[in-house]
Amino acid sequence: SLERRRCLYLRTGRACCQMVEVLLAALILVCGSVSCGSPGGYTGLPALGGSYYYQYGGAYSGFSGADGERAQQLDQRFYLLKLPIARAAMAVGGCLLVFPCVLILVGVLRVPWHFPAWLLIECTLYIVIAVGTVPALYCFLHSLLSVYNSSVCKEREQLYQSKGYQGFWCSLHGAEIAAGLLGCMAAMAYLLSAGLAVRDYRTVHEQKQKPLQL
């Protein structure tokens, strides 16, 4: 009977919302890792003569000598500029992933039933996280745009375009835009969870009062 009650929590609206939050946090974590990219840049391949290997595209013959070395330096500098932002996004995504997992465990263990005030604490935490998500997204996007507007990115873009390579523009790419949209969706999910926590608090409080009234 106890196991059945615990499993029933996973079918509640609050648990479903928390599982959505887990999914969104995992996607934010993935997008942050994609945004970071690889520090490798161009690597010379003596076996291919003067060609170079790029992490996304295979063996290219457009770069050789000083141009190849310069491309590698710009790739590495660009990577180092984006690294702190990507790490921060991954850290936030990791924290947002752990938080709903803990709340799901708390719900399965029926802690809110034995300690209804926990639902009010949960509601407060959700509101704080939802409100804090807005400036966090602003800082994330603003920092990325600062990197893309830097001289390193501009020179890197021009160097690749001079050789006819596409996809190295100084603008937000798909994973970074997706991270911003997922953050907005997560903020809305947190607000919904806060409302559900208040509703469940009222329900638990009323159910606990019924035996006393009878």
- pLDDT for 64-116, tens place per residue? 667 778 888 888 888 889 889 888 988 999 999 999 999 999 988 888 888 88
Which range among 94-98, 161-165, 177-181 shows the weakest confidence by mean pLDDT?
161-165
What are the structure tokens assigned to 135, written together?
């400036």
pTM of the model: 0.80
Contact 141, 181 (CB under 8 A): no
How far, in Å, CA of 179 to CA of 32, rounded? 7
How far, in Å, CA of 55 to CA of 26, rounded? 24
Task: Please give the distance of CA 27 from its chain centroid, rounded to a whole number.
Answer: 6
Contact 182, 31 (CB under 8 A): yes
- Which tens digits make up the pLDDT trace of 4-58? 666 778 888 889 999 999 999 999 998 888 876 644 444 443 333 333 444 444 4
